[in-house]
Amino acid sequence: MTKIALTPLAQSLPASVPFVGPEAQERQMGRPFKARLGANESAFGPSPKAIAAMQKAAAETWMYPDPESYELKHALAAHCGIAADSIMVGEGIDGLLALVVRAYISIGDRVVTSAGAYPTFNYHVAGFGGALHSVPYNGDFEDPDALLAKAGEVGAKLIYLANPDNPMGSWHQADVISDMISRLPDGCLLVLDEAYVDLAPEGTAPAIDTAAENVIRMRTFSKAYGMAGARVGFAIATPEIINGFDKVRNHFGMSRTSQIGALASLQDDGWLAHIRAEVDASRQKIGQIASDNGLTALPSAANFVAIDCGRDGGFARAVLGRLVEDGIFVRMPFVAPQDRCIRVSCGPEDQMQRFADALPLALAHAHENLG
């Protein structure tokens, strides 16, 4: 009996996890984290109306989800002021990114991103055999000009850009993004990840144009809406691009309770303003904690703040290692020179306080060990 062979493509891939979950770290440490500030979850929680709706829906879990996510899709369309045929609901932005790559990238097709941007996108590109090219950040900003130049040079079919950016929290004004879209090479699709845009200043998101044939925008209930565990994202594009999803998606992949929770969350009018205020206060608090420790917090349009630890990646890694050891779950950028920072998610006061208590010790530890 010969073994069953994976496809040549699958054989070429590592068995990898783009992010190790905090639960795995907790199992390894043998104790839970005291503060969960590493995954840009919203510890402010979901809307009470979403919680109530999900609790009510629990007994009806015996029913399959509506494969069209009809009600949620139409509510999103009304919310965005566009037609429902320009929206696809999927299992988080991660799931939608996989489908976009699958729909557009054959083995060897070129894709462009920024070095140090979202690794899960890179994972999917590799997973479908795409050839990934990256350009450096410009300062702490993703660089539209460099992305466009590289895409033209290699003949890329996809460009990935997050606005606001993760992991740095930096952002471009809407007109910079609009200008980028207008300059995309022929046959190149911009994957515009707007996971954090609900938390950004006015003027960050370009107006939605559902006739634009060269851009697909990704949004989520995981961040501002505080529903990361529900896995609900949505894509906005032309009806033709949206139609393409129905060729490749897992039609019954959405949790029914998640659909219902996301809908209730969207219908809770005051929730987004409440969370924007909480996140803004928390960003300021993180900034204060940083400066209290002689560090600089970078400006952020997201629900996290990158803190410049003032030295190199080795130093920031030592700080981060000690924070994790002390029960504070945080993460950091993967690539220099952004890896001089640690990335701290916004959260309620008690979580901020635990981080504030742990940071001086972590810095002292890093200084001791690295001189």
Residue with the two structure tokens 């489908």: 99
Query: Considering the complex, what minimum distance in angstroms separates the CB of residue 270 from a second copy?
Result: 18
Question: What is the C-alpha to C-alpha distance for residues 123 and 102, in angstroms, rounded to an integer?
Answer: 12
Binding to a second copy (CB under 8 A) within 210-229 occurs at 213-214, 222, 226-229
In sign, the C-alpha dihedral spanning 106, 109, 110, 115 is positive
Binder of a second copy out of 251, 292, 353, 370 (CB under 8 A): 251
Binding to a second copy (CB under 8 A) within 62-101 occurs at 62-68, 70, 91-92, 94-95, 98
When asked if residue 6 is in the footprint of a second copy (CB under 8 A), the reply is: yes
Do 172 and 206 form a contact (C-beta atoms < 8 A)? no
Query: Considering the complex, what minimum distance in angstroms separates the CB of residue 223 from a second copy?
Result: 10
What one-character-per-residue DSSP string does 169-212 give? -----HHHHHHHHHTPPTT-EEEEE-TTGGGS-TTSSPPP-TT-
When asked if residue 334 is in the footprint of a second copy (CB under 8 A), the reply is: no
According to DSSP, residue 252 is labeled: T
Do 329 and 25 form a contact (C-beta atoms < 8 A)? yes
Closest CA to 228 of 36, 34, 29: 36
When asked if residue 163 is in the footprint of a second copy (CB under 8 A), the reply is: no
Question: What is the C-alpha to C-alpha distance for residues 338 and 194, in angstroms, rounded to an integer?
Answer: 20
When asked if residue 24 is in the footprint of a second copy (CB under 8 A), the reply is: yes
Q: Which is nearer to a second copy, 175 or 246 (CB)?
A: 246
Which one of the spans 58-66, 80-88, 283-291, 361-369 is the region binding a second copy (CB under 8 A)?
58-66
Which one of the spans 145-153, 193-201, 238-246, 353-361 is the region binding a second copy (CB under 8 A)?
238-246
Residue 34 makes CB contacts below 8 A (sequence gap 6+) with 326, 327, 328, 354
Query: Considering the complex, what minimum distance in angstroms separates the CB of residue 113 from a second copy?
Result: 17
Binding to a second copy (CB under 8 A) within 267-326 occurs at none
When asked if residue 46 is in the footprint of a second copy (CB under 8 A), the reply is: yes
What's the Cα-to-Cα distance from 135 to each of 94, 98, 139, rounded to whole Å? 22, 21, 12
When asked if residue 28 is in the footprint of a second copy (CB under 8 A), the reply is: no
Q: Which is nearer to a second copy, 23 or 368 (CB)?
A: 23
When asked if residue 119 is in the footprint of a second copy (CB under 8 A), the reply is: no
Structure tokens at 12: 């070429």
Which one of the spans 103-111, 159-167, 279-287, 311-319 is the region binding a second copy (CB under 8 A)?
103-111
Binding to a second copy (CB under 8 A) within 164-203 occurs at 184, 186-189
Q: Which is nearer to a second copy, 49 or 322 (CB)?
A: 49
